[in-house]
Amino acid sequence: MKNDVNKLKSQIEFLCKNFSYYKKEHSFDLIYSLRNLTSLYSDLLNEELVYYNKIKSCHPFLIMKVYYRDIKYPKCFFNNFIYNKEFHKNFMSNIIDGLGYSLKEIFSIDNLENLASCEVDELTSFIDNKKLNSLLFNYFENNDKEALNIYQELVNDNRIFESDEIRCSYTTYDIINRLPFMVIFKDNSIFDMIAMVHEIGHIKDIYRYNNKIYDYINKSTFSEVFPMYKENRLYDYLINNNLYKNDIINSFKVNLLDCFTGCILIEKLASLNSYYLKNRRYIQNFFNYDSNADFNIFDTITYSYGFLLGTYFSENEDKIEYYTKQKYFLFNKRDLDNLGINSKDIVDSYQKKLRKYNLI
Ligand SMILES: [Zn+2]
């Protein structure tokens, strides 16, 4: 075990020395290996707290989604969840009651417990790069000039990495320059465009939270709300213009499935006694027992609230401006009340959206 830690330290040191996000070709490999390494050794890293803090504070990009364990279980995030657990429980239970019938219909199931095992056909049409770029440019030009500016700034600064290795796109930042950058998974489909619009939503949020970027990325319950709102606006635009409609409906359904599987988990989680909720091992066992082994509470909460509220805002655009003016980090019942958001409004907005997409 000691050997493993030493091996990891020397590898991380090598990666730190060699990393530069300006050297595109090499950087991606480094990010990739570091991600693999740290998820592999997350247990060991967690025990080596001194070293862990040292590298966390000394290197520009180690702050990114590298420290899986830290991100999976940020303490203040989870304590906040426990503090609000009654609210989460009632809120989710109203949402599930209000939309359960529609969800059963959409995914052809009798019991909502089966939602977790449903799958959506994710076949997508091939679109070449040139076409995707002009589609993206047109979209920004006519609908989101601010996003266009951010996009151009990122392109000029070489702050967009393309990846065809990890099936995931994400945004992170360099803690020395405090500049965000993104990695986009490319598969020559409309998903490339969705990913770009989503990640630019994160960049905009990061600019907004400039003084507290670390908190925003690593702790905020609401970090997925604004990107999901942007994603939903793109869906509406493509559907209204009859562009790649089937692909978009599929993507929406995938999000719907993940979101509501998450809502059900949140409801269950919030129903647990606080004593058990504080026991990390208990929670892991509780959920690994009947769901997939890779269950991540932080992701479940942020993505579920993200899609839930992001979709809601796309149907209630007058509220997004007020929302973005507030500095939301941790979940707070008062924040939602101030916005006039309640479970009934959310259910109504979803019904509207589902009818618009001909899903019900
Ligand atoms: Zn995101």
DSSP string across 279-336: -HHHHHHHHHHHS-TT--HHHHHHHHHHHHHHHHHHH-GGGHHHHHHS---S--HHHH
Helix count (H) and strand count (E) of the chain?
19, 3
Average pLDDT over residues 204-208: 88
Calculate how far, in angstroms, residue 172's C-alpha sits from the geometric centre of ligand 1.
10
Decide if 190 contacts 42 (C-beta within 8 A): no
Calculate how far, in angstroms, residue 77's C-alpha sits from the geometric centre of ligand 1.
17
Q: How far is Cα 94 from Cα 298, in angstroms, rounded to an integer?
A: 22
Calculate how far, in angstroms, residue 202's C-alpha sits from the geometric centre of ligand 1.
7
Rounded to the nearest 10°, the torsion over CA 61, 36, 72, 327 is 30
Calculate how far, in angstroms, residue 276's C-alpha sits from the geometric centre of ligand 1.
29
Question: Does residue 293 have a pLDDT over 90?
Answer: no
Calculate how far, in angstroms, residue 4's C-alpha sits from the geometric centre of ligand 1.
32
Calculate how far, in angstroms, residue 78's C-alpha sits from the geometric centre of ligand 1.
19
Question: Does residue 165 have a pLDDT over 60?
Answer: no
Question: Does residue 290 have a pLDDT over 80?
Answer: no
Calculate how far, in angstroms, residue 116's C-alpha sits from the geometric centre of ligand 1.
21
Calculate how far, in angstroms, residue 72's C-alpha sits from the geometric centre of ligand 1.
15
Calculate how far, in angstroms, residue 110's C-alpha sits from the geometric centre of ligand 1.
31
Q: How confident is the model at residue 24 (pLDDT cuts 50, 70, 90)?
A: very low
Looking at residue 170, what is its pLDDT? 80
Calculate how far, in angstroms, residue 198's C-alpha sits from the geometric centre of ligand 1.
6
- The residue ranges of DSSP E strands in the chain, in sequence order, are 160-163, 170-174, 179-185
Looking at residue 123, what is its pLDDT? 74
Average pLDDT over residues 139-165: 88
Q: Mean pLDDT check: name the lowest of 89-103, 145-159, 166-180.
A: 166-180
Looking at residue 59, what is its pLDDT? 37
Q: Which of 39-53, 158-172, 278-292 has the highest mean pLDDT?
A: 158-172
Angle at 212 (CA atoms; ends 256, 223), nearest 5 degrees: 0
Q: How confident is the model at residue 294 (pLDDT cuts 50, 70, 90)?
A: very low
Calculate how far, in angstroms, residue 199's C-alpha sits from the geometric centre of ligand 1.
6
Calculate how far, in angstroms, residue 296's C-alpha sits from the geometric centre of ligand 1.
15
Calculate how far, in angstroms, residue 201's C-alpha sits from the geometric centre of ligand 1.
8
Q: Over the stretch 41-60, which tens digit does the pLDDT of each residue have?
A: 544 444 443 344 433 333 33
- The residue ranges of DSSP E strands in 1-119, in sequence order, are none
Calculate how far, in angstroms, residue 225's C-alpha sits from the geometric centre of ligand 1.
8
Q: How far is Cα 137 from Cα 194, in angstroms, rounded to an integer?
A: 13
Looking at residue 54, what is its pLDDT? 39
Decide if 126 contacts 189 (C-beta within 8 A): yes
Calculate how far, in angstroms, residue 259's C-alpha sits from the geometric centre of ligand 1.
13
Calculate how far, in angstroms, residue 254's C-alpha sits from the geometric centre of ligand 1.
15
Calculate how far, in angstroms, residue 29's C-alpha sits from the geometric centre of ligand 1.
22
Calculate how far, in angstroms, residue 103's C-alpha sits from the geometric centre of ligand 1.
23
Calculate how far, in angstroms, residue 302's C-alpha sits from the geometric centre of ligand 1.
9
Calculate how far, in angstroms, residue 263's C-alpha sits from the geometric centre of ligand 1.
17
* Interacting residues of 317 by C-beta distance below 8 A, sequence separation 6+: none
- Mean pLDDT score across all residues of the chain: 79
Calculate how far, in angstroms, residue 135's C-alpha sits from the geometric centre of ligand 1.
21
Looking at residue 334, what is its pLDDT? 82
Rounded to a whole number of angstroms, the distance between the first and last alpha carbons of the chain is: 55
Calculate how far, in angstroms, residue 213's C-alpha sits from the geometric centre of ligand 1.
14
